[in-house]
Structure 1
Amino acid sequence: MSLSLRANIHFAALCWAAVLNGWNDGSNGPLLPRIQQVYHVGYAVVSLIFVFTTLGYISGSIFNMFLTERIGFGKVSGSIIQVVAYCIEAAGVSFPAFLFAYTINGYGIALQVIQSVGYVIRFKDNPELRMGLLMGGYGVGALLSPLSATYFAQVPHWSYHYLTCLGMAVLNTIILTGVFRLRPQEECLVEIGIMDTENGTSTESQFRQIMALKDVHLLALFMLCYIGAAVTLGGWIVTYIIDFRHGGSSSGYISIGFWAGLTIGRVAFLKVNRLIGEPRAVLVYSLLAVALEILVWFVPSLIGDAIAAACIGVLLGPMYPLAMNHARRILPQWLLTGAIGWITGFGQAGSALIPFVTGAIAQRAGVKVLQPVLVAVFVVMTILWSMVSRAKTL
């Protein structure tokens, strides 16, 4: 088997893991109104699922480096943890148990996101394209899951949606185990012809060096705002449309437009990114997203909101891979995998933290606060990128 074919097999396995993670995040929007109905909870309480997911994400990002160092890349499998979580969720358990399942699911997702991005960023051939396709896999999952979630949100056995997640998680575990065979990352990279591994500094030494880099923290905060804004929009837009724009029970399909835009943007804008320059592209997309969000805020139109949400998705799509590519250019190579792990893990917490804050505010002021919250997050995200984009390439 040729090195390129082996590399593509490794890459395809990680893309499937990304599809599962996108499927998980894309499910929340259509299911939130039904979860509120089933458990008789308001915006603030239902938002606890994001809080407990945050706990899982942060735990995963902190322990990833130490677990990978001690038991190896191939054995740190967040997919088996997701299998356990989806078994609990599919059973339609009590709300506290449901929250616990979200915690361990967040832990498993964090491990997989960190490991996948840290692995793909080491590829030498077409790294920008590969990163775009990896993130596109996440978008595909997030695009398709609302179809299932919207259906199950309208039937008695609503929790059976998690059986679809369970099936994908089991398949994911089989694929990752079969492809990487529980081996260390360096051994897997050598198998596909990537010989330049990181230097031999200890985990503790690497952690101290990473924490001392200002650009790492700026990128981590940017990713927290970016991922948080994307998941907040994709998750709360359905509730916003139903409660504030008086949409029907099929409003869950509006989230499909957002996730479709995000998926398309990650792949279709590759040439545009190169044309205007990757750092400048993120800044332009951020400003346009702010403008569209303000339009949704002040122009009451159901169709207009759906179109704007899709357009915002297109603009947000390229930002994740562009941020990872920028990290590869400005951070020391021997710290890259660990730094990417911290950036993505910390950033992933935004997918839980910001939706929870939105829900807590909505509990008092109504779901109409979604738009001003998103505008504020987009503005902060733009400021953070303007700071990190000034860093010199190494």
Structure 2
Amino acid sequence: MDASFLRQLVTVESAPAALAPLPLRPQRSITKTYPAVPQRDSTEIELAAISRPATHTGLGHGGPATPDLESSRPASPLMGRAPSSSNHHHDDDGVEALQNIWDPHMNRFRLLSACTMNFANGMSDAAAGPLLPYMEKYYTIGYAVVSLIFVGQAIGFIAGAGLIDPLRDRLGRGRALLLSQLCMAAGYALIASAAPFPAIVVAFFLLGLGISINLALGNIFCGSLAASTTALGAMHGSYGIGGIVGPLLANAFVSVFGLVWSTYYLVTLGLAVGNAVLGLWAYWRFEAEHLLDDDDDVLTAADNLTATTTAAAAAATATAIPPSQPHHHYHHHTATMLTSKLSTLLSTLSSRVVLLGALFIFAYQGAEVSISGWVISFLQDTRASSTTNTNTNIGYVTSGFWGGITLGRFLLALPAHRLGERPFVYAVVLGATVFELLVWFVPNVVGDAVAVAIVGLLLGPVYPCAASIFMRTMSREDKLRGMGVISAFGSSGGAAAPFTTGLLAQVVGTWVLHPIAIALFGAMCLSWWALPRERKRRE
């Protein structure tokens, strides 16, 4: 085969004068701080708003559109959510992404705010025990009448539970926390002025109202973080620290410095003012940052869709309805919204997790506050000697109880998480029952003080463990309302049980504290056993 035949099979062309440029190096990919969370870079890559008006309204052909297999994805419960006015690029991808304490940056200050508010709550609640005998002498009242302060605080908690969701929607979290601290500051001002006893009951109502709001919002924030058990342990451990400091200061004010019992509440008044400033600053841009709130992502999608539909319907109605009818249409729409909110609230109240969780926390806080509030009176009635020094030192037993709670929340939270919260709670409640029996039957002040401290140590991690289980078991849309109901019923238990103890102590004696506490421990175990198992998250 000669070369001429091969040249017929190949066509040789000369090179063009200008070669095509090589492709440029692709841009650097956007780095995300943690997986499954939309990036917060200032450059918007996709889904950017189109500034020019639409010029094409259809497909241009009658056949079906060919799907884009590369850019399509399965539908998720969060798709279709209207973007936030402040951050259009924070688009949900249908995957639940938990924040942590350090990212976003302001989360560390929000956790600090939750801890300082709970610290002040602990100082307020724990001081009632050492100050009860002095309040009785100051107002010349008995156990039954002085117990009305617990009733006032319980009514405030219940009222606050119904206001948490509306306040958060209307004011935002920062302003809602500001309002809660202002209510508490007003209550502390009344108590510090040693107002007449009916005003003191009203003051404790204001305290319950404020604590209910900040406690529910703090539980929701800490429970929605990664490692929620640790965050909740820090928050409620701060409550325990306040429970240590409060009785120490209160007892020192009245027994060492000889001050009026109401002087102590000047300290808590200053804390309320400081917490108001810190909470408002820490949560000031909480909504503007469009954080992935674990408690209402799904609700926001539904609310935005409803709002868009309602706006479109209102625009269409404005041109079709005569001027005499829009007023009736507005009231009909308002009634529909109220009916929807009422049905949502009833759905939350009918949840098995919410009901059993409320019963559990009712019994837990009832036992906790009853022991804290009445163990001093029990020891003074049955264990005190004739020496003044012994009677003065008894006032510090409450600090030992709250010291045990604090150590339990900080030291036992990790073992509880590793062993499993469910069996761990059974073990510590059983141990608390044993040591409560020792306080009842061992006639020794030192031994009783040690046993009371161990009861606090064992009860310490119960609340963080329970809150973590509740948050993991409830659906996302029930978390805020559910935790609000649980907190309110729990705190009302912290009022009903001490009030019942005071009524019975007036008749039979302060020893009635112990059977009431043991009965509440039994109610805790029963409600804990009846709680449903954790479901797999499918949102």
Same fold (TM over 0.5): yes
CA distance in structure 2 between the partners assigned to 1:133 and 1:224 by the alignment: 21
- Contact kept, 8 Å, 1:23 with 1:143, in 2: the verdict is yes
Aligned: 1:121 with 2:264: no
Alignment of 1:1-394 (within 5 A): 3-76=103-176, 77-123=179-225, 125-154=226-255, 155-181=258-284, 186-187=287-288, 190=291, 197-200=297-300, 203-246=341-384, 247-388=390-531, 390-394=532-536
Q: What is the letter of the counterpart of residue 184 of structure 2? A: Q
- AA of the residue aligned to 1:29: G
Relative to 1, partners in 2 of residues 1:364 and 1:115: Cα closer, same or farther, differing over 3 Å? same
What displacement does 1:288 show? 1.1
Q: Say whether the 8 Å CA contact 2:124–2:268 is kept in structure 1.
A: yes
CA contact (8 A) 2:298 2:476 kept: yes
Deviation at 1:188, TM superposition (A): 5.6
CA 1:7/1:234 → structure 2, altered by over 3 Å: closer, same or farther? same
State the one-letter code of the partner of 2:145.
V
- CA drift of 1:143 comes to 1.0
Unpaired stretches in structure 2, ≥5 consecutive residues: 1-39, 41-101, 303-339, 385-389
Greater displacement, 151-160 / 78-87: 151-160
Contact 1:51 1:353 survives alignment (8 Å): yes
Kindly indicate whether the alpha-carbon contact (under 8 Å) linking 2:295 and 2:477 is maintained by their aligned counterparts in 1: no
Structure 1 pair 264–198 and aligned structure 2 pair: CA distance change class (3 A): farther
Change (3 A) 1:30 1:189: farther
CA distance in 2, matches of 1:90, 1:67: 28
Select the structure that is richer in helix: 1
Task: Please report how far the alpha carbon of residue 136 of structure 1 lies from its aligned counterpart in structure 2 after TM superposition.
Answer: 0.6
Amino acid of the residue matched to residue 161 of structure 1?
A: Y
Shift of 1:212: 1.8
CA contact (8 A) 1:238 1:255 kept: yes
What whole-Å deviation, never above 9, does each CA across 1:156-189 have from its counterpart, x for those lacking one? 42211010111111111111112112x5x64466
Distance 1:189 1:42, change over 3 A: farther
C-alpha spacing 1:49/1:194, structure 2 compared with 1 (3 Å): closer
What is the rounded CA distance, in whole Å, between the counterparts of 1:380 and 1:208 in structure 2?
24
Deviation per CA, 1:185-235: give whole Å up to 9, x if none. Answer: 644662x89798242356434312211211210000100110111111111
Do the aligned residues in 2 keep the contact of 1:225 with 1:380 (CA within 8 Å)?
yes
- Highest Rg: 1 or 2? 2
Q: What is the CA–CA distance in structure 2 between the aligned matches of 1:91 and 1:301, rounded to whole Å?
A: 38
Structure 2 counterpart SS, 1:300 = coil
Q: Structure 1: which amino acid aligns with 2:119? A: V
Given that 1:132 and 1:266 are in contact with CA atoms closer than 8 Å, whether structure 2 keeps it comes out as: yes
Name the SS for the 1:199 alignment partner.
helix
Task: Report the AA paired with residue 134 of structure 1.
Answer: M
The answer to whether the Cα contact below 8 Å between 1:143 and 1:256 also exists between their aligned partners in 2 is yes
Q: So what's the TM-score if we normalise by structure 2?
A: 0.69
Deviations 1:30-52 (A, max 9, x none): 10010011011111111011111
Structure 2 counterpart of 1:116, which letter?
G
Q: What letter is aligned with 1:110?
A: S
Aligned AA for 1:221?
A: L
Task: Give the direction of change, closer, same or farther, for the CA distance of 1:345–1:47 in structure 2 (3 Å limit).
Answer: same
User: Tell me, what secondary structure is at the counterpart of 1:153?
Assistant: helix
Instruction: Flag the 1:196–1:372 CA change in 2: closer, same or farther, 3 A.
Output: closer
Displacement, 1:316? 0.5
1:131 Cα offset (Å) = 0.8
CA distance in 1: counterparts of 2:415 and 2:103, whole angstroms: 30
AA at the equivalent of 2:173: F
When the two structures are superposed, what TM-score results if normalisation uses the length of structure 1? 0.94
After superposition, the C-alpha distances for 1:87-123 in whole angstroms (9 at most, x for unaligned) are: 1110011111111111111111111111111122111
Determine the C-alpha separation between the residues in 2 that align with 1:204 and 1:70: 17
Query: Residue 224 of structure 2 contacts residue 295 of structure 2 at CA under 8 Å; is this kept in 1?
Result: no
Q: Closer, same or farther in 2 for the Cα pair 1:288/1:187, shift >3 Å?
A: farther
Q: Which whole-Å CA distance do the structure 2 matches of 1:81 and 1:119 have between them?
A: 21
Distance in 2 between the 1:331 and 1:32 partners?
A: 38
Give the aligned length.
Answer: 389
Percent sequence identity over matched residues?
A: 33
